[in-house]
Each structure stands twice: as structure tokens, then as C-alpha cells.
Amino acid sequence: MQLCDVLIIGAGAAGLMCAIEAGKRGRAVRLVDHSAKLAEKIRISGGGRCNFTNIHTAPENFISANPHFCKSALKQFTQGDFVAMVQRHGISYHEKALGQLFCDHRSQDIIDMLVAEAAAVGVTPELETAISSVEKTGAGFRIRIQKPSGAEEEVSCASLVIATGGLSIPKIGASKFGYDVARQFGLNIIETRAALVPLTFQSEILERCKALSGVSLDTIVHCRKMHFSEAMLFTHRGLSGPSILQISSYWREGQTIEIDMAPSTDVAAILLEAKRQGGRQNVDTVLAEILPKRLAQDLCLWQGLSGRIGEIANARLTALGDAVNRWQLMPAGSEGYRTAEVTLGGVDTRALSSKTMQVKNMPGLFFIGEVVDVTGHLGGYNFQWAWSSGFVAGQHA
């Protein structure tokens, strides 16, 4: 029987942060992960440059059945605290739109930083290490571990931290392990679903999206009283891009979304004015001054409009403008966990202390990161939740 103070299952963003902080307190920490590669989600994020936080991080950037739960952790370890760590390690970074911070070079810089911080407190991640069983004991927990060699080992720990993430991107090792452990100990799971994910369509809309694949433009996308003002991308499967990924976390099957493809522009008014001024231009030419040419042509074809704008009835021009500023459509679904950046839902926060991330009725058991029912918007917020929740658990595990 091997002994340690803290066993952390999951060596991703949250697990690494927790190991660092627990180790700083002099705790004997073991950090294990079933994957062969360390922190793959960090490595592939941000196009390989890791959008590691957002300078505008605030509770309103997160979705949860309890929207107040994230406040304590975000206050205890802020985006500024993580930026300070990045700066201490000399990692160069830059700010992109909407407060998103990215590495100048590569995501591996963040992984290397976390590994170095963990090594400084005596923690080395143990990879390709599977968990066979988890049991509660009088003094803590007994965990049966299967090593890469196939040998089994029993570990006894006072504190057990579950940092195994959600179901998104299974090809890099996502699993339901964390939810299974939660259920084993009687915790409720808020329904999980793919979030920050492209939306898919059928029939005519799908064919139009395929024809427009690669076209990108700034939009405002609305659904369920929420809206996001960012770029949208047409794909062979439907719609993607930041605005669509954002709204996907709020959209539900059977609901419509509304897209303004020319924000701050009254397209109908522009079309009518072009007609009033002589109307010699073709309607798709006028529309192409507002939208990408391929999209302008598609919309005119869809509306059955062609020829000189001066020969088209005002009502039909107004309808074309509405099709641009208020395009309403119903997605058939999403691309699912295969491409989802995060998992919505998770371990019910009612069972956890917001100040410690510990299960209220089971001292020594902690859940952190994506496995918990706290999901950030696109733009570095989910990494910040991982850093903050991992930090907090590390102060108490």
C-alpha cells in the first residue's frame, strides 16, 4: 500500500494547478492520468497557441445551474494571478479581440511552465495510469491504480481530487470517469451536452452552407435572449465560427436562432436608397457592397431576385434586407462532443463548497475544472476556471 496526502486524477489544466498549490503547502501529492500525452487540451487549444485566459473574466461569462458558484474561486485566483505566473516564466503573449490572451509562440510553453512549477514542489505527472477502483475508507480513500506495465498498485490518500474533465474531444482521452465517481458517492449530475460546438443543418440550408463553405463574416447571433457579436463561418456541415460556438451553449433542439449578417447596417434601407438613386446596378452587386460576394449572390438567388435593382418592388427589397439582418433558421443539431470545445453541465455544484471545491458531506473529496457544472464562454474563460478551481482545491486538499 502506497501512501500520499493528495491523489489527483487528471493531469490537465485544473489537475496540474491543484498539484502545484497542494505541493506548495508541503503535501505529498501524486498526479495521475490515463493518457499517454500530458495536457493535450492545452496543447491543441487556440490553434496551438493556447488562449490561456481572458482579461475580462467575470462570473457573467459562465453558465451553471448556480450562476453564483464560480464567484469565490474566480476571486481567490484571478486572471491577473495567472498572467503574473506566465510573466514570471518569461512566456511572451499577446491580446487578441475581446480580451483573449494567447501565447506568442506555442501552447507547449504553458504546459512546460506548469510542469516546471509542479516539479519545483516534487510532483511529476504519472501518465498512462488507469484507475481500477475508488473506495472510501475511515481515513480517506483507497484507489487501485494500474501502471503502464500492467502492474496494479493500491494507494491510500487523505484527499482525492477529481480533475478528469468532461466528454468533449474523445480522441484526446475524454471520458465519463469523473461523472461515474460522482455518482458512486451519491452526487447529482446536471445533464451534460456538447458546448462551444458548430451547429449542423439539413435539406436546403445545408446545401446553401456547403455552397458557401469558407465564407466568413461578422455577425450578431441571437437565441433564448442571449446574443453574441463575433465572426461566423459557413462549413460543409453547417455554421461555425466564434458567434455560433458561443450561441451553441444556449441553443436547444427545436429552437430557432436569428442571425444579423450585417450588424449596425440597415440593409433594406440601403437597397431602397440604391433603387431611388437610379437603380441601374444589379441587386446582387449592391448587396455585395455589404456582404461577401458569394453570400450576396446566394441570398438573391434564395429570394428569387435578379436584374437591376430599380426594377424590383420595394416589398421584395425589404424582404431581402430582412433576410440579411434577421435570418431565422432552425439547426438540426450540433457536431457533438467530437468537436465540442467543452462539456456543458456536470457535477452539481449544490454538493460542493464554492470556497474549497470540496464535497460538503464527504471531507477529502474534491471536484475541479470541466467535470463541474461551470462552463465558460469562448475566449479563455474555461482555462481560467481550471486555474481558479484547481488553485482553490490545492489550498485545502
pLDDT tens by residue, 99-152? 999 999 999 999 999 999 999 999 999 999 999 999 999 999 999 999 999 899
Report residue 30's pLDDT band, with 50, 70 and 90 as the boundaries: very high
Query: For residue 218, what pLDDT is reported?
Result: 98
Query: For residue 346, what pLDDT is reported?
Result: 98
CB 319 within 8 A of CB 326: no
Report residue 295's pLDDT band, with 50, 70 and 90 as the boundaries: very high
Report residue 336's pLDDT band, with 50, 70 and 90 as the boundaries: very high
Half-sphere exposure of 327 (CA within 13 A, CB side): 18
165-209 tens-digit pLDDT: 999 999 999 999 999 999 999 999 999 999 999 999 999 999 999
Mean pLDDT of the 303-327 span: 97
Ordered domains of the chain (ranges, CATH): 2-194+342-394 (3.50.50.60), 199-334 (2.40.30.10)
- The structure's pTM equals 0.97
Mean of all residue pLDDT scores within the chain: 97
Mean pLDDT of the 227-250 span: 98
Report residue 61's pLDDT band, with 50, 70 and 90 as the boundaries: very high
Report residue 257's pLDDT band, with 50, 70 and 90 as the boundaries: very high
Give the percent of the chain with pLDDT over 90: 98
